[in-house]
Chain A
């Protein structure tokens, strides 16, 4: 099996050097670019399987690189490294077509887990679920612009946090999501009461979805690890 080709884009040499050797040991073929313009050049000639893109960079920032790629119809999977943990920033990362994002400072093992998950999920040449306007799974529909969720045509009353959690799970279906990952991705914070915070919202979602934890249709508990959205998800109209 060939090693997946990864383009790592960050202007901080201390980060690229250490991460590149870490990723190489993890079984990836890594090329480094130091700014946005170099990244676009490399993507064009290297055709990487995945791009790790830092947001804050000189000349052309990561967000702009992502925008140009997607405008050109290039759906190469992109993992965005967000610097600011603001929830709006994270929502923007998904809106602009990133496949996933990680907040700095992150655990390098988590980065590898994210990369593997994206590569497994990738549908070559097709837009990822993260850019869909609506996500549909069976009778469940999440309208991402209006932030409304419908089950069998009936609107569910959910807190904004529960909608964000469901959105993240539906854009990452069939993926083991640890409580820590969900906290970082959806809340953007570590909470001391963190894992319980996730459990509370999952319980809220299950109640609203009428999902039985013992025989789930949508959200499965992975004992001792986290949760997984088990139903297939499609891009909705």
Chain B
């Protein structure tokens, strides 16, 4: 917005221009004016006052606009925080309830078999809580920790992500494919943190495998689009209801269809945080009953 101050120089430049013009015309008429000091004082005062009033008016207006947008941002942040805490409360309640139940069983169990089962259940719930804490920490760290900026061979990375996905039991009865461009040239390299990017693609494939049914197709593909590289994970799964799509990137958000499927509700939030740290963008399109595609865009330089 600095250039706006250049506007103030416009009258001066015009005056300069006129002065040069008059000078070269050769006839520079001389004007005289008479005014008494009393009138001049009033005029000068009025002139300065109006100048001040204009300045104050403009800055007041700017200040009001700034305050309103700040207040809006604060309201939004407060709402986000409240929603996050509610979801966190919910995510903690379930494992804690299960732990209390298992503990009660353990106290009352007499048979060795029952004791073992209670201990196994408690172990499982503790792992669930640990995962939640660890994912929350990752999210918090991702905003501040320095990330690597080394050139990454995306082909190798995507092949590795695919190999990892194939190790999941669900992969056996899904059509899992990877499409990479070869012509006219292969994918350009992008710079970033390879471990984090692998985690992001892995999370997306994991979701796709988790929510699709046997016989469904899961496609991992990448292509170049101008100065960006696009990575997509698409599936023919159950899709996400339209009203849920805007919320999928939020921390701890769990859609109706995700209830009953294990997960912390932080997977996509992590993907988003990773991609944003790489200067990229994320988007998700879905049709309920048809499938979902998640698109990641990375700048090539």
Contacts and interface: CB of A to CB of B under 8 A. Distances in A.
Interface size band for B: 20 to 34
Contacts of B199: 191-193
A200 B195 CA distance: 10
B136 to A, nearest CB: 11
Contacts of B133: 105
Interface residues of A, number: 19
A160 B148 contact: yes
A157 to B, nearest CB: 10
A200 B150 CA distance: 14
A188 B140 CA distance: 13
Interface in B143-158: 144-146, 148, 150
Contact of B141 (A86, A190, A197): A86
A196 B164 contact: yes
Contacts of B160: 193, 196, 200
A189 interface: yes
Contacts of A161: 148, 195
A193 B134 contact: no
A159 B141 contact: no
A85 B141 contact: yes
A48 to B, nearest CB: 29
A168 to B, nearest CB: 15
Nearest to A85: B137
B179 interface: no
Interface string B43-75: 000000000000000000000000000000000
B195 A86 contact: no
A86 B206 CA distance: 26
A197 B206 contact: no
Given A159-B148, A161-B148, A190 B134 contact: yes
A105 B136 CA distance: 13
A105 B127 CA distance: 11
Contact of A193 (B138, B148, B198): B198
A187 to B, nearest CB: 7
A187 B195 contact: yes
B195 A191 contact: yes
Main SS class of interface, A: loop
Contacts of A160: 148, 150
A189 B148 contact: no
A113 B215 CA distance: 45
Given A85-B137, A197-B195, A192 B202 contact: yes
A86 B134 contact: no
Contact of B150 (A86, A159, A191): A159
A192 to B, nearest CB: 6
Contacts of B194: 200
A87 interface: yes
Nearest to A198: B195
A105 B198 CA distance: 25
A89 to B, nearest CB: 10
A189 B164 contact: no
Contacts of B137: 84-85
Interface string A173-196: 000000000000001111111001
B141 A192 contact: no
A146 interface: no
Contacts of B203: 192
Identify which of B130, B145, B160 gathers the most chain A CB atoms within 10 Å of its CB.
B145
Contact of A192 (B148, B150, B206): B206
B150 A193 contact: no
Nearest to B151: A159
A105 B126 CA distance: 11
A23 B199 CA distance: 35
A56 to B, nearest CB: 14
Contacts of B164: 192-193, 196
A159 B198 CA distance: 16
Contacts of A190: 134
A88 interface: yes
Contact of B198 (A84, A87, A197): A197
7 contacts: A86-B144, A86-B145, A105-B130, A161-B148, A188-B141, A192-B203, A193-B160
Given A86-B145, A193-B198, 15 more contacts: A85-B137, A86-B141, A86-B144, A87-B145, A105-B130, A161-B148, A161-B195, A190-B134, A191-B198, A192-B164, A192-B203, A193-B161, A193-B199, A197-B195, A200-B194
Interface of B: 130, 133-134, 137-138, 141, 144-146, 148, 150, 160-161, 164, 194-195, 198-199, 202-203, 206
Which 9 A/B pairs are nearest by Cβ-Cβ distance?
Answer: A159-B150, A197-B195, A193-B164, A193-B202, A85-B137, A193-B198, A160-B148, A192-B202, A191-B199
